[in-house]
Amino acid sequence: QVQLVESGGGSVQAGGSLRLSCEASGNTYARANMGWFRQAPGKEREGVATIYTLPGSTYYADSVKGRFTISLDNAKRTLYLQMNSLKPDDTAMYYCAAGPPLTSYSDRLSPTVFIYWGQGTQVTVSS
C-alpha cells in the first residue's frame, strides 16, 4: 500500500511559478513509478509529467515541456513538480500518482499506469 500527500498548490498570476510536493509512504516497489496529473473542470485527467525509476527516465506533456520539471528526492520520499511560466490553461486540480513497474508501457503519461493517487492540490493561474 502507498500513501501520497500533495501540497504546494495555490493561486498565481500568469508568468508566475509554483512548486508542488508529494510526500510518499509505503512499499518502495509499489511506488517505483510516479507522476503528476491534472484535471480541469469538464475535462479528462491528463498526464503532466512522469518519472520512471527503471531506467530513470522522465516524460512530459507537450504543453508543459520547457516550463515544468519533475524530480524525485528518494531520501525524502518526495516527488516535486516545479512549474514556471504558468499560464491560465494550467489551472486545474493536480494529482500525484504512483505505481509499480510494468513489463511494458504503451503511454508513459497515461493515468492507467498508476494505481495509487493523492487527494489533489488546486492550482489556479489568473491572467
Q: Assign 74 a pLDDT band (cuts: 50, 70, 90).
A: confident
Residues sharing a CB contact under 8 Å with residue 76, sequence separation 6 or more, in sequence order:
23
Mean pLDDT of the chain: 95
Over the stretch 98-112, which tens digit does the pLDDT of each residue have? 999 888 888 999 999
Rounded to whole angstroms, what are the CA distances from 85 to 31, 82, 100, 125?
29, 10, 32, 10
pLDDT at 16 over 90: yes
